[in-house]
Structure 1
Amino acid sequence: MALFERDHHIYRDRDALREDYQPDELVGRDEELQTFQAALQPVINGEQPNNVFIYGKTGVGKTAATRYLLSHLREDASRYDDLNLSVVFLNCDGLTSSYQISTQLVNALRPETEQISTTGYPLASVYEMLWDDLDARSGTILIVLDEIDHVQDDSILYQLPRARANGNLDRAKVGLIGISNDFSFRDDLSPKVKSSLCEQEIHFPAYNATNLRAILEQRAQVAFHEDVLSSEVIPLCAAYGARDAGDARQSIDLLMKAGDLARDRGTEFVTEEHVKHGRRALERGRIKEGIMGLTEHGHLVLYALLTLDLEDETPIRSRDVRPRYTRFAEMANRDPLVPRRMRDHLSELAMLGIISVTERNEGRRGGTYREYALDMDVNLILSAMDDTVELVGVHESLSEYIDVDEFVADSDDSDMEFSPGSLSTDL
């Protein structure tokens, strides 16, 4: 008997729910696609292309729309004998400098046998190579920089849009498309870069539940067998996605998780319960991943806020979190961070959606300040903080969530030192 056998009773094509799947048609983005298409029209006309800046939250279709339109643009451009179009697509995740991006672009334009090292050249020399390679390619060249907000210096963002005007290019017509998840990135650009890069701006707002439902129905038709999904599955996935920031990727991931649970359990249909269980599993995974990516002091700040929340002390100002954090740091034999750095960790936790932050304004006398509170289930947070609890001890506010005797016994089996005497009961 085979240990593994093919199972197709739920899915027709599960890959249609994966991130790299490109549908034949994009739904829920008619207005943005129309604006984007108009911005790309000069390419077909053989004119100098526009520089386009696209921004919006993660999962709202920015990259998908760019790939979709550029695919059609290349296909349509091939019908014109006098039009030579090239597209270079570069994700800037992990690339923080103009030097790194420039070397990556040079290598993208060159054959494998002529690649250059990503270190060791002066930036001016790399730019010279880039201009030579772009002119050698000639025609119209669109350079897409996805996650452009990772770039910490804006030299390349000035040089590329103005390469022809500055006399660096003779034959090539270069257009830059920048894609950013960071709304404030544009505001931080220097005026000269902003005027060049943001020639055309397109904002992708969050999807609403209607948009998400249309996207999920489109994917489901390809991914699942007919009549496998219960009627409430897609509306529920869409509603959760709209509530969680209008992220299509999260909604699609949830639909796939629900399908996987149905398949794993051998059921004939994907139901509302599979969606609910899938959402809890995905949420646990996201929270755990976010917390585990924090520094040790980030964990200590979160532990301090967690215990204060359980004592009904939240919403709370950072200055009132500090005594608890300082005590926990000392118990862990760590030097406490200065107040500003501790506040940076609170801001990071808020950005991850683990805690909430509220702005308060009490006028001239009280000024403006922030208050913080926990925004996630306690058990989910604790599941990712075993090491911190072992390091500091079990605070008395956690007594209903952690069996102290069992926790101490488990800790005795580990490599870390832990004893009942380290329990935090004095804060």
Structure 2
Amino acid sequence: MADDDTGTETQTLDAYWASDNPIFARKELLDIDHIPDEERIIGRDDEIERVASSIHPAVDGKSPRNTLIYGKTGTGKSLVAKHVTQSATEYAHNNGTEMRTVYIDCTQSSTETRVVITIARDLNDPDTTGITIPVTGLSTDEYYHRLWNILDELYDVVVIILDEIDKLQDSEILMQLSRAGEAGKVESCSVGIIAISNKISFKESLDERILSSLQDREFVFPPYDANQLRSIMYNREDAFKDDVLTGDVIPLSAALAAQEHGDARKALDILRNAGEIARDQQMETVTEEHVQKARKRADIDRFSQLLEGQPTQTKAAVYALALLTEQSDDEEFSTREIYDVYKNITSELDMDALSQRRMSDRLNEQVFLDILGRTERVGRGRGKGVTHQYYLLEDPDVIKPVITDDMRFSEFSEPTDT
């Protein structure tokens, strides 16, 4: 009987794998990591030219200018940086220059040592250099030493893209990389940095030594408007099969993303999710209804990624703010108000409650990660203290399902009166 069951299941899966996808033709065009042809990059001609101007010397093996790119999420910063460096690398190779680009996501590699290891492992060819880069076990200085040797032995020029650089726990690596040639760490290889940040105030956190060594050019990427978002999606309409999209799908997706500060990443997420929902429903067309459902799924997916790996105590504090927001006409709440609800949550989940100060520290971490927002209110009169008010950056009905997916919260029953 088991064999028959297995055989039936295998036949069912074989039919599934062999079936034609009725919705998508080239789904990869909707992936945010996909680097499209230049004609598909909309509204960023000036930005492409400016970044290309900064790294232009690299194609001849000379030192590129360090570049700092600012802009909100989904404004094409990473896309332009990857596109320009990919094009430069191909041109350099055709002209006999050994050029390489390394892309580092600082949300994944957030310490100096981890960044150096990632760069070195990406660039190394151990068969040629005889150098090994173990994942652990060496001092940071030794990792740097091996990286410098790899650069000198293999390359004329290397451009390092540090995306979401504001997530780095230590910015010392900026000085090490930007001064590698001047300090004599590398002799024959030039090193350039393209640093990308969502926070225009990022440089304020750097000390004078690092600022002096960077000597960077700065560019700000503006948000896309609704017309540009429509053009971006129409340029990738061939991700879908012919006549799959109803006429209102792309305009609605663009309008929804325009509400999110012109976020092209959000627009493509909505469009891709709408297609996946239609496919899962075994529909042959993608409609406005699918777009509306896709928007909520995109919100939940984004928030899930942001909260992934966060401690349960942090989730409890965010959940407390979500409950307050849902049960009140107000949008901003003081630390004391959040703490009172947080204590009820930890009590029901049989968790130790943090002190109010420590819970406030957890909330501030979420502000830094763009999960929450914060305002400051200065008191009047004799005290004149500063009170922090926190607010959600997503609707409670997006945040709550993400947190209740955590087993600790799955059985949580909300108090009726907070």
Question: With structure 2 as the length reference, what TM-score do the two structures score?
Answer: 0.82
Matched with 2:211 is: 194
> How many angstroms apart in 2 are the aligned matches of 1:91 and 1:279?
25
Per-residue deviation, residues 334-354 of structure 1 (Å, max 9, x unmatched): 332222222233345556776
Query: Rg bigger for which structure?
Result: 1
Question: With structure 1 as the length reference, what TM-score do the two structures score?
Answer: 0.80
Displacement after TM superposition at 1:395 (Å): 1.0
Q: Which is worse superposed, 86-95 or 22-31?
A: 86-95
Is 1:102 aligned to 2:116, yes or no? Answer: yes
Matched with 1:211 is: 228
Matched with 2:280 is: 264
Q: Which is worse superposed, 66-75 or 312-321?
A: 312-321
Matched with 2:290 is: 274
Q: Is the 8 A contact 1:288 1:383 kept in 2?
A: no
Is 1:242 aligned to 2:258, yes or no? Answer: yes
Q: Which is worse superposed, 346-355 or 179-188?
A: 346-355
What is the DSSP-based 3-state SS (H/G/I as helix, E as strand, rest coil) of the residue aligned with 2:161? strand
Q: Say which of 93, 99, 102 aligns to 1:78.
A: 93
Displacement after TM superposition at 1:388 (Å): 5.8
The one-letter code of the counterpart of 2:81 is T
- Alignment RMSD: 3.1
Matched with 1:29 is: 44
Change (3 A) 1:47 1:349: closer
Displacement after TM superposition at 1:123 (Å): 3.2
Matched with 2:72 is: 57
Q: Is the 8 A contact 2:323 2:396 kept in 1?
A: no
Displacement after TM superposition at 1:265 (Å): 3.1
What is the DSSP-based 3-state SS (H/G/I as helix, E as strand, rest coil) of the residue aligned with 2:236? helix
Q: Is the 8 A contact 2:59 2:99 kept in 1?
A: no
Matched with 1:402 is: none
The one-letter code of the counterpart of 2:111 is S
Matched with 1:66 is: 81
Displacement after TM superposition at 1:175 (Å): 1.8
**Residues 5-404 of structure 1: pairs in structure 2 closer than 5 A:** 5-25=18-38, 26-44=41-59, 46-81=61-96, 83-113=97-127, 114=130, 115-220=132-237, 222-287=238-303, 290=306, 293-312=309-328, 314=330, 315-348=332-365, 357-362=374-379, 366-373=384-391, 376-386=394-404, 393-397=413-417
Per-residue deviation, residues 184-219 of structure 1 (Å, max 9, x unmatched): 432212212122225112222332222221211111
> How many angstroms apart in 1 are the aligned matches of 2:306 and 2:98?
45
Displacement after TM superposition at 1:233 (Å): 1.1
Change (3 A) 1:197 1:250: same
> How many angstroms apart in 1 are the aligned matches of 2:228 and 2:388?
34
Per-residue deviation, residues 16-56 of structure 1 (Å, max 9, x unmatched): 21233221112121221121111122224553221122233
What is the DSSP-based 3-state SS (H/G/I as helix, E as strand, rest coil) of the residue aligned with 1:141? strand
Q: Is the 8 A contact 1:299 1:388 kept in 2?
A: no
Displacement after TM superposition at 1:368 (Å): 3.7
Change (3 A) 1:392 1:190: same
What is the DSSP-based 3-state SS (H/G/I as helix, E as strand, rest coil) of the residue aligned with 2:223? coil
Per-residue deviation, residues 243-266 of structure 1 (Å, max 9, x unmatched): 123322221111111122233334
Q: Is the 8 A contact 1:56 1:180 kept in 2?
A: yes
Q: Is the 8 A contact 1:292 1:384 kept in 2?
A: no
Per-residue deviation, residues 352-410 of structure 1 (Å, max 9, x unmatched): 7766544434556554423345565554444345456677644124xxxxxxxxxxxxx
| Percent identity of paired positions between Structure 1 and Structure 2 | 33
Change (3 A) 1:179 1:306: closer
Q: Which is worse superposed, 147-156 or 166-175?
A: 147-156
What is the DSSP-based 3-state SS (H/G/I as helix, E as strand, rest coil) of the residue aligned with 2:235? helix
Q: How many equivalent residue pairs?
A: 396
Displacement after TM superposition at 1:94 (Å): 3.2
Q: Is the 8 A contact 1:62 1:179 kept in 2?
A: yes
Change (3 A) 1:47 1:370: same
The one-letter code of the counterpart of 2:30 is L
**Long gaps (5+) in structure 1:** 398-426
> How many angstroms apart in 2 are the aligned matches of 1:53 and 1:375?
26
Change (3 A) 1:355 1:130: closer
Change (3 A) 1:32 1:166: same
